């Protein structure tokens, strides 16, 4: 198991990561999700041994990796820009790590037994397991096994420049998998691909990770990628992990406005605590106990109920109940989205005062007219 304990890192004198702690279990895929500059790639670099924490520890099976150089950690890394060798064909690109690993192990096997390294040792011995040496036949077999796994059978003699972006990323994945790494890391690997290729590769990567049972860390700023591939999502913001949980758990309960906005969960709206455990918003007053003082400003998550009502007529303020109610909206824009319509709307006139803010996005099966007032059933919850 990989573990980060209270890792601290700064960049150009400013805090970047503050007390980062998490684990990655055997066979688990976690996703580090955050905006650009949040420190996601820095975490990968420190795990790989390419950078170092200022405080804290990175451990593999309870052994500190601080003194273990990158090439002895047995970790694989897949980049967004592939990093393939243009002078080698596909077979040799995939086999490269196996050949280098074999040569290095043969040179260093004699003295590795005296080092305190987290190798998977043969019972009763103090030297690394011999799986780190591959003969020519084993290399040939392993490469062809991987070509089949990434759907590139017959591509072994092609050059890198003959391949599409998606095919090159498959080669990069196969190369990372070849030495059977203890951990696989992905740094925005699909950022350069179009939507259809991205979806196909996400499914393939997830399937391969489950088949091989290799633990993985996947870094992205794309919430759709995170939900598609992760067993667990860690939301990184301002140097700390705001939320750590299974995708369905985070979707149901993001807890904070930052997480909800980053993941595109519902609509984050402003509210104000008023007397009687009620919260006033641009869309009316809701019965909610957010445990705030009267007059205190707060953020709320407004989501559509599973069966939102269709079009409605202009009427009174929302019929509030614990956690939700009906709200009325004035349609400002309508955009077709596959099997439904994305509607941008604002709150209607409330208690004689025009609401000038509070625009939200909802989804409807039928397209309303611009300027029309619609009634929608919603659920509302407090956010930190």
Other residues' Cβ atoms within 10 Å of the Cβ of residue 164: 10
Q: Residue 276: what pLDDT?
A: 72
- Chain centre distance of CA 177: 20
d(C-alpha 35, C-alpha 294), whole Å: 34
d(C-alpha 201, C-alpha 209), whole Å: 12
For 99, the enclosing helix (H) or strand (E) is helix 90-112
Report residue 80's pLDDT band, with 50, 70 and 90 as the boundaries. confident
| Integer CA distances (angstroms), 344 to 266, 334, 373, in order | 13, 6, 12
pLDDT digits (tens, 9 = 90+) for 254-277: 999 999 998 888 899 999 999 778
Q: Is the pLDDT of residue 311 over 50?
A: no
- Chain centre distance of CA 315: 42
d(C-alpha 93, C-alpha 33), whole Å: 30
pTM for the model stands at 0.82
49 or 117, greater pLDDT = 49
Q: Is the pLDDT of residue 317 over 50?
A: no
d(C-alpha 371, C-alpha 384), whole Å: 33
DSSP code string of 309-326:
--B----SS---BTTEEE
Q: Is the pLDDT of residue 126 over 50?
A: no
Q: Is the pLDDT of residue 162 over 50?
A: yes
For 19, the enclosing helix (H) or strand (E) is strand 14-24
Place of tokens 């109920």: 305
Q: Under a CB-based contact definition with an 8 Å cutoff, are residues 247 and 259 in contact?
A: no
Q: Residue 193: what pLDDT?
A: 79
d(C-alpha 36, C-alpha 309), whole Å: 38
Q: Is the pLDDT of residue 107 over 70?
A: no
Sign of CA dihedral 319, 320, 323, 329: positive
d(C-alpha 358, C-alpha 341), whole Å: 20
d(C-alpha 230, C-alpha 215), whole Å: 11
Query: What are the φ and ψ backbone dihedral angles of 138, each rounded to 5 degrees?
Result: -70, -40
**Which domains are assigned to the chain?**
2-252 (3.40.50.300), 266-383 (no CATH)
pLDDT digits (tens, 9 = 90+) for 32-67: 999 988 999 999 999 999 999 999 999 999 999 999
């Amino acid at each position: 198991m990989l573990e980060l304990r209270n890792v601290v890192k700064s960049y150009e004198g400013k805090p970047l990561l503050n007390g980062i702690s998490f684990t990655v279990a055997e066979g688990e895929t976690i996703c580090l999700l955050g905006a650009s500059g949040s420190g996601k790639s820095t975490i990968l670099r420190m795990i790989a041994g390419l950078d170092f924490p200022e405080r804290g520890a990175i451990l593999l099976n309870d052994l500190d990796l601080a003194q273990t150089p990158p090439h002895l950690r047995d970790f694989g890394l897949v980049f967004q820009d592939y990093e393939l060798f243009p002078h080698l064909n596909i077979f040799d690109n995939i086999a490269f790590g196996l050949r280098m690993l074999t040569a290095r192990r043969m040179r260093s096997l004699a003295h590795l037994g005296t080092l305190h390294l987290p190798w998977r040792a043969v019972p009763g011995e103090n030297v690394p397991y011999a799986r780190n040496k591959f003969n020519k036949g084993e290399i040939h077999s392993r490469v062809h096994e991987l070509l089949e796994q990434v759907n590139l059978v017959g591509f072994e003699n092609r050059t890198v420049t003959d391949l599409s972006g998606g095919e090159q990323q498959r080669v990069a994945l196969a190369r990372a998998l070849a030495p059977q790494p203890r951990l696989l890391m992905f740094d925005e690997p699909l950022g350069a691909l179009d939507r259809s290729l991205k979806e196909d590769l996400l499914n393939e990567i997830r399937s391969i990770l489950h088949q091989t049972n290799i633990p993985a860390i996947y870094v992205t700023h794309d919430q759709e990628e995170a939900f598609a591939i992760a067993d667990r999502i860690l939301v990184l913001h301002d140097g700390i992990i705001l939320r750590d949980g299974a995708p369905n758990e985070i979707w149901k309960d993001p807890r904070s406005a930052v997480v909800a906005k980053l993941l595109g969960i519902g609509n984050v709206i402003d509210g104000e605590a008023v007397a009687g455990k009620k919260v006033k918003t641009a869309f009316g007053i809701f019965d909610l106990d957010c445990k705030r003082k009267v007059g205190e400003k707060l953020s709320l998550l407004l989501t559509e109920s599973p069966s939102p009502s269709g079009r409605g007529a202009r009427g009174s303020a929302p019929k509030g109940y614990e956690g939700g109610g009906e709200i009325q909206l004035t349609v400002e824009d309508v955009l077709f989205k596959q099997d439904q319509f994305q509607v941008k709307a604002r709150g209607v006139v409330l208690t004689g005062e025009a609401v000038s803010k509070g625009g939200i996005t909802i989804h409807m099966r039928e397209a309303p007219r611009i300027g029309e007032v619609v009634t929608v059933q919603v659920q509302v919850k407090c956010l930190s």
